[in-house]
Structure 1
Amino acid sequence: MKKTILRSLFLLFSVSVLAQAGHIMQGVGAVNMSMGGASTAQPLDISGAIQWNPASISAFDDKIIKLDVGLFFSSPELFSSVPTSMGPFGGYTEDDRGMSPMPAIAMVWGKEGSKHTFGASAFGISGFGVTFPENTNYPQDMMGNFNTDYNPAENSNPINFPQNAGGFGHIESDYMLLQVGLSYAYEISDKFSIGVQPNINYAALELAPNPTANPNGFGYPTTDKATAIGFGAQFGLFYDSGLGLKLGASYKTAQKFSEFEFENTYPDNSSAKNTFQMDYPAIFSLGLGYSTGQFDLALDFRRVDYENTDGFSETGWTQTASVAGFGWENISILSAGLQYKGIKKLPLRFGYTYSSNPIPEEVTFFNIPATAVIKNAYQFGLSYEVNDTWKIDAVYHYGDSNGATEGQLLSPLAISPSNPLGAIPGSSVSYEMTTSMIQFGVSYKFLK
């Protein structure tokens, strides 16, 4: 029964998210996104409060429900080159994925004078995905047979050549994570609150080709969409001085998942199964907030622990030429937001998010399915307070990777004691991207 409910929620909030900070969404909902994701100590709306610090929902003394829906567009580009006797041979491939929906729903039950506040949420909090089409403009296949349709004047990207020509063909990934949380905050005093939030997670992963599976003589297989269920929690502290200054801290534990079980189909139509473990990393957040009559300032710092997370901590080739994991490093995220309330019923917001890159140069090749890493993100948002119960929110986001993530092509056939990852001398692979998004939200406050 529990699995059926989770699957129904997942289908309702199915998202193809391309995240900005590693594979983590920088914010949830139009208000929180417009503040750069900062809300650990500045709970301006219930979605941001639930996402980053369950203790901060104590700031809400009403029953409120909020729904956000956005459209997200990314434009990653994949480059590669290989050495030849006549010099480097290479090209690029543009992603043709299109737009992805981004929904979020949350509700908080608060009551003035009560020490207890409750919340519930269903958020798409994580994801990555690319669609790089196969490039059939190749000179010859691995058997030395020349391609009579090859045109040297047209773009050729070796990494997207068909597998029988030494590439990976059509490269596609689709990872999505829906998190359902139940939040509780308790006011120890009128200034200090603690909070807890148990989470149930539902994830889906699809890979083409599937590098976590062993290749056969014809190459790597494609997979169906595999799913996994995970569990975790989040704990928070929130302090409101009552004089404008606010402080917050939270810790989201690693979300531990069951294994993805892939049904693989190889290029020769043979089939096999494999499993892959991929959890969601622990996140530690610190926040500072300050409010005056016309301004709200928010500043958050996060540390994401990829190095101790299954699926991300390991890297390299297994003995059977499959990929052991993504090999990501820990990252730091800085989120900042400013809200101006000087216009009646029309608060304006500006946000910025900085994220370090989790992908080391030496494992760039292993991370082609997860290129969605944005270094700088900029947001502008606003709200319109229709009346005492209804409020409408909107945000526009733009992000860029600030240059390419670049490394060498890798092959298990090139492994040696001095070259443990099998880097191919003279080769290169890189990717970069920009993102844009428009999102709208509506919230309703129940009258007392």
Structure 2
Amino acid sequence: MARRSIAAAAPLAAAALTSAYLPAPAALATNGYFTHGVGLRAQGMAGVSIALPQDALAAATNPAGTALVGDRFDVEATWFRPDRGARISGNGFGADGSYDGNDDAWFLLPALGYSKALENGLSWGVALYGNGGMNTGYESNPFAAYGGTGTAGVDLAQLFLTPSVAWRVGNHSLGVAVTGAYQRFEARGLGPFDNPVFSSRPGAVTDLGHDESTGWGVKVGWHGQVTPTVALGATWSSKVAMDRFDDYAGLFADGGSFDIPENYGAGVSWQATPALTVAADWQHIRYGDIPAVANSLAPLLAGVPLGADNGPGFGWKDRDVWKLGVRYRVNATLTLRAGYSTMDQPIPANETFINILAPGVIDEHASIGASWRPRGDEGGEWTFAYTRALENTVRGNGSIPPAFGGGEADLTMHQDILAVGYSWRF
């Protein structure tokens, strides 16, 4: 009776949490501004999940996983503490100094997933999660030498609701999902750019509070158990076409356009022994297809203002992420996990000046995690994961244009990410 009650209540809980969470999502930045992994078990393996679905949030990465995780309801919360900052040197306008971007010291991000098996190999599920964002808050404004006042920074947060359907035929599963996305954005302290020289729409650049946008995209995925011990997976997520941030039409290219990039990947999982599983993922993120993110700042000094069609941006590049994880089942009660991921951070050395606002320079993550079932294979399960986004510094090289006094801007960031959750199987 209790399990049936949980199963009936789970979709209602998802709707209630969505309603409660939409007004105030948090912001997270690890692989650029994508999170390193969705779902606690994936987080404990540095994000590995394409060929190794482990909970009802697996559909966020590969919707084929919905057919493989059974009937379950997962609730979790992730606490993260980013440490981000910048250093300016050699500037002719007096901007030199070290700047602490940690006005907001930590954030809390909830997530949940629900999955249910139907007849004839069909399953369905829904996942609610954050998959990206960026937050900085510089109480000492790095742009004060140019006339900036107050706290400088940005707050970009993204929330996703992904209902999925998957079909299992023999050793293969196919999945499809529709992703509804909500994002909000705020910019502060950017007064030096809010004028007819630098913006196509002065008055729509900074200090306007949070603006919101919504949009949708699709995901498809495949999972195949190709041998008794080896599984493969592949997944693709479309670009999510978002409404414009009208309040910031003078900051982002194309009048406030800020779509969410297409990404895709592949994975492999190998059950080396009955207790030990080794898995790896590759993910490609197409930041370069989003003008507001990918375009260089350089056209600003050639007369192309912020907010213009195909206007200046942050200069980010497409990036590949490589992830490796292990899972070891000690006994029916305890499972241990660990993982490592690496990428080439997306910010070129000559684009660090504008990226003081968005220093997503993390290259590496190291993770550990564990699951504990107090009653063995029966009943619910507690899971935790801890990830250290290792500190990385990108040193500017020709990064501050002569029109802004020249010199260099260096960016530094690291993060601590701690997550805990509980799962019911029914």
TM-score tier (shorter)? 0.7 to 0.9
Which residue in the other structure is 2:158 paired with?
A: 177
| CA pair 91-210 structure 1, distance change in 2 beyond 3 A | closer
> Is 1:346 aligned with 2:334?
yes
| CA pair 70-365 structure 1, distance change in 2 beyond 3 A | same
Which residue in the other structure is 1:50 paired with?
A: 59
Q: CA offset at residue 407 of structure 1?
A: 3.9
The correspondence for 2:44, drawn from 17, 25, 34, is 34
> Is 1:443 aligned with 2:426?
no
The correspondence for 2:215, drawn from 230, 240, 255, is 230
Which residue in the other structure is 1:148 paired with?
A: none
Q: CA offset at residue 322 of structure 1?
A: 2.7
The correspondence for 1:101, drawn from 89, 92, 108, is 108
Q: Deviations 1:87-112 (Å, cap 9, x if unpaired)?
A: x972201223211011111100115x
Which residue in the other structure is 2:319 paired with?
A: 331
Which residue in the other structure is 2:306 paired with?
A: 322
SS state of the match for residue 132, structure 2?
A: strand
Q: Deviations 1:296-332 (Å, cap 9, x if unpaired)?
A: 2110001111111242232334436436222211001
The correspondence for 1:248, drawn from 229, 233, 246, is 233
Q: Deviations 1:30-88 (Å, cap 9, x if unpaired)?
A: 211001111100112221x212111122112x321101102100111211123459xx9
TM-score, scaled to structure 2: 0.85
The correspondence for 1:80, drawn from 84, 88, 102, is 88
Which residue in the other structure is 1:91 paired with?
A: 97
**Do the aligned partners of 1:55 and 1:196 also contact (CA within 8 Å) in 2?**
yes
Q: CA offset at residue 223 of structure 1?
A: 2.1
| CA pair 78-12 structure 1, distance change in 2 beyond 3 A | same
What is the CA RMSD across the aligned residues, in angstroms?
2.8
Which residue in the other structure is 2:79 paired with?
A: 71
Which residue in the other structure is 2:379 paired with?
A: 389
The whole-number CA distance in structure 2 between the counterparts of 1:300 and 1:444 is 27
**Do the aligned partners of 2:45 and 2:339 also contact (CA within 8 Å) in 1?**
yes
The whole-number CA distance in structure 2 between the counterparts of 1:372 and 1:263 is 21
Which residue in the other structure is 2:281 paired with?
A: 300
SS state of the match for residue 50, structure 1?
A: helix
Which residue in the other structure is 2:8 paired with?
A: none
Aligned amino acid, residue 395 of structure 1: A
* Aligned ranges 1:412-427 → 2 under 5 Å: 414=402, 424-425=405-406, 427=407
Q: CA offset at residue 343 of structure 1?
A: 3.6
**Do the aligned partners of 2:333 and 2:373 also contact (CA within 8 Å) in 1?**
yes
Which residue in the other structure is 2:270 paired with?
A: 290
**Do the aligned partners of 2:167 and 2:175 also contact (CA within 8 Å) in 1?**
yes
Q: Deviations 1:337-363 (Å, cap 9, x if unpaired)?
A: 101112441101001111211111222
The whole-number CA distance in structure 1 between the counterparts of 2:64 and 2:239 is 19
Aligned amino acid, residue 101 of structure 1: L
Q: CA offset at residue 335 of structure 1?
A: 1.1
The whole-number CA distance in structure 2 between the counterparts of 1:209 and 1:7 is 35
The whole-number CA distance in structure 1 between the counterparts of 2:15 and 2:146 is 37
Q: CA offset at residue 227 of structure 1?
A: 0.6
The whole-number CA distance in structure 1 between the counterparts of 2:392 and 2:91 is 27
| CA pair 293-7 structure 1, distance change in 2 beyond 3 A | closer
The whole-number CA distance in structure 2 between the counterparts of 1:89 and 1:78 is 11
**Do the aligned partners of 2:361 and 2:394 also contact (CA within 8 Å) in 1?**
no
Which residue in the other structure is 2:144 paired with?
A: 161
The whole-number CA distance in structure 2 between the counterparts of 1:234 and 1:46 is 15
The whole-number CA distance in structure 2 between the counterparts of 1:221 and 1:192 is 50
| CA pair 115-89 structure 1, distance change in 2 beyond 3 A | closer
| CA pair 83-12 structure 1, distance change in 2 beyond 3 A | closer
Query: Larger C-alpha radius of gyration, 1 or 2?
Result: 1
| CA pair 215-429 structure 1, distance change in 2 beyond 3 A | same
TM-score, scaled to structure 1: 0.81
Q: CA offset at residue 29 of structure 1?
A: 2.5
How many residue pairs match? The answer is: 393
The whole-number CA distance in structure 1 between the counterparts of 2:26 and 2:193 is 23
Q: CA offset at residue 186 of structure 1?
A: 1.0
The whole-number CA distance in structure 1 between the counterparts of 2:242 and 2:225 is 35
The whole-number CA distance in structure 2 between the counterparts of 1:70 and 1:225 is 23
Which residue in the other structure is 1:205 paired with?
A: 185
The whole-number CA distance in structure 2 between the counterparts of 1:205 and 1:7 is 23
Q: Deviations 1:228-281 (Å, cap 9, x if unpaired)?
A: 11110011111013511000000101111110011799xxxxxxxx94111111
The whole-number CA distance in structure 2 between the counterparts of 1:226 and 1:43 is 35
Aligned amino acid, residue 112 of structure 2: I
| CA pair 375-210 structure 1, distance change in 2 beyond 3 A | same
The whole-number CA distance in structure 2 between the counterparts of 1:132 and 1:78 is 9
The whole-number CA distance in structure 2 between the counterparts of 1:30 and 1:405 is 33
